Structure 1
Amino acid sequence: MRYREFKRCNTKVSEIGFGTWGFDTQLWRDGNVHDFAKSLNIAVELGVNLVDTALVYGDGQAEQIIGKVIKSFQNRKELYVATKVSPMMPISIPSPHIHADEAFPKNHIRKATEQSLKNLGLECIFLQQLHAWTPRWLTEGEWLHTLLELKKEGKIQAIGVSLHDHDCISAVDLIKSGYVDSIQIQYNLFDQGLDRYIGDIAAKNGVAVLARSPLYAGALAGNYASNQQFKQGDWRSHFFENQHLTEVNQRIARIQHDFNLPPGALADFALNFAVSSPYLSSVLVGMRSPLRVYDTINIAQKPYMYDHVRAFCGRYDWLS
């Protein structure tokens, strides 16, 4: 496992982080809860030391699973847990018309943090993130003061914000402000806003960048046919509706053709694209089964993608 700097905390985190959104079996209907702790245990044994979660994932279930794994590794390995406090409105609506104190009131942030500490069995959370962002909040509300209080109290070590998909540009002023230690973004072959908008700015300001969804909810693993049927209630049935999956697979076919990828090589290629970015501290990968853990770690040990190949990948960016 390779490690990179999480600059403001003087800490090195694993290049591959463990994403736990998939532990929410209400939204990911094809998961096996009995595999989750086992998969995380294997990942930690193989060198993963950063785990990303959120209080909202399974109404605390994901954090509780992480807490049990942390306990089993106590005094042997240090795990850095990044969690999130969700806003008081739906995450899918980062409306600029909602005041920061409506989305993230002081008592809400504090209560969520206390609950996460309890779920995880920790005295201090490595990284507490706001689970939504809109630029207007930079100059309003008590969210920052509250997080700084929690930091002073030793309940959190670092402050971050998780951005919405395709929305890197909204964080430019936030990064420059010095208020946050990290930014979390979607980053993959279809969403390369990191390279275009914030990579250099984050590096200049010492802000760590965490990337989620390197395989675009599994599509860049080549898992889904254009007529894919997801289980009722699975969030992907809505995400990939209205011909979106058909368009995704058309882009995938172009990638496979342009790079002459053999069958089964797409996931390797897509993950290698993400981990090759010099701007990232860690790439968060959902690894809900032990087999997926081994496959991911094997990919991560391969040489980085050459710069000229990465540059060619820009043509697949959703916003290009």
Structure 2
Amino acid sequence: MKYRQLGKTDIQVSEITFGCWELGGGQWDKQSDEVNIRAIQKAFELGIHTFDTAEGYGQGHSEQIVGQALEGKRKECVIASKVSRSHLNPADLRKSAETSLKHLRVDYMDIYYIHWPNDDIPISDTMSELNKLKEEGLIRAIGASNFSINQLQEAMKHGRIDVIQPEYSLLHRGIEAEIVPYCEEHSIGIMSYSSIAKGILTGVFHNGKAVVNDTDFRKERRLFFPEHLKQEQPLIDVLKSLAEQKQVSLSEIAISWLLHQPVLTSAIVGTQNEKHLAENTRAVDVKLTEDELKQLDQISADVIAGIDA
């Protein structure tokens, strides 16, 4: 595993972050807690020392699983959680933070994100309380997830945003126009979520190995619409070709592309499968040439433009 500095902080994060959304259940089919605790511990053994969860993942259950799995390893881990958009007024935010700390079995969180912005609550109030939590040592870094460029700029007027967590992958590149340059200018870290587009970039939805059933929340996501899966095929074909050349999985190529973006700090990838976990971890060692990166950039841009047309 390799590690990168998070923005201007002194926090070192692993290039692959273990995403814990699935572990909370809810929208995802969840394995047993025992299986998921082992997956977290296996990730730690493989050098993934950064873990991302949220109070909203299974109503705190994901945080509890992370807390159980990493107990006794606190000083060796970077643990991030998120406060929900309905808890952004100061009193609720502090209560949420205290509950998350209890669930995680820790006395501080390395990163604490605003999960989604809430225009009904002044960002100045939210940032004021986050600044207090940071001064008190309950959190080390302040993060913002799913913020527009305007919302990010407004938040920065009231404190330091150390890291953002946007949706970013070969099928989600909306941050590149304005948010990425702003983060570069202000040394703000970027941790990507949906790094393999909720599974699309593994290729399993294009090779017949998996289908989105009627109870799967992804059925309502636009990239999983049948017509869009068809439009994505050229990108999957390029990923498959590169994967075969390098004798790796498609997801390793997709994650490697992210890690080759100089602005990225870490790619968040979640799984409840130890085989997939090992593949995700190996992505840090997959090298892509300039020509391969250009090929992926172009086909990715073409596919996104076709879907958005």
Q: TM-score range by the shorter chain?
A: 0.7 to 0.9
Q: Which residue of 1 aligns with 2:77?
A: 79
Describe the superposition over 1:98-139 as per-residue Cα deviations: whole angstroms up to 9, x where unpaired. xxxxx62111111110000000011111111001136x6897
Deviation, structure 1 residue 244: 2.0
Range 203-212 or range 108-117, more displaced: 203-212
SS of 1:29 mapped into structure 2:
coil
> Does residue 1:188 correspond to 2:169, yes or no?
yes
Does the CA-based 8 Å contact 2:88-2:126 persist in structure 1?
Answer: yes
**Deviation of the 1:79 alpha carbon:** 0.7
Instruction: Tell me the SS of whatever aligns to 2:117.
Output: coil
Q: Give the secondary structure class of the aligned counterpart of 1:57.
A: coil
AA in 2 matched with 1:202: C
2:220 to 226, 229, 238: 238
Specify the code of the residue in structure 2 equivalent to 1:248. Answer: L
Q: Distance in 1 between matches of 2:154 and 2:297?
A: 25
Partner of 2:37: 37
Listed as ranges, the gaps of 5+ residues in structure 2 are: none
Counterpart position of 1:13: 13
Q: For residue 144 of structure 2, what is the amino acid of its counterpart?
A: V
Residue 257 of structure 1 and its aligned partner are, at CA, apart by 4.8
Aligned counterparts, 1:1-320, within 5 A: 1-29=1-29, 31-73=31-73, 78-88=76-86, 104-133=88-117, 140-163=123-146, 169-170=149-150, 173-174=153-154, 177=157, 179-225=160-206, 228-230=211-213, 232=215, 234-239=216-221, 244-257=225-238, 260-261=241-242, 265-303=249-287, 305-315=288-298, 316-317=300-301, 318=304
The residue matched to 1:64 in structure 2 has which SS? helix
Bigger mean CA offset, 105-114 vs 248-257: 248-257
SS in 1 for 2:220: helix
C-alpha RMSD of the superposition: 2.7
Which segments of 5 or more consecutive residues in structure 1 lack a partner in the other structure?
Answer: 89-102
Greater length-normalized contact order (CA 8 Å, ≥ 6 residues apart): 1
What is aligned with 1:93? none
- Flag as ranges the 4+ runs of structure 1 deviating above 4 A: 136-141, 174-178, 261-264
What SS does structure 2 have at the residue aligned with 1:142? helix
Q: TM-score, normalised by structure 1?
A: 0.83
TM-score, normalised by the number of residues in structure 2: 0.86
Change (3 A) 1:248 1:170: farther
The Cα shift of 1:245 comes to: 4.3
Measure how far apart 1:306 and its partner are.
2.8
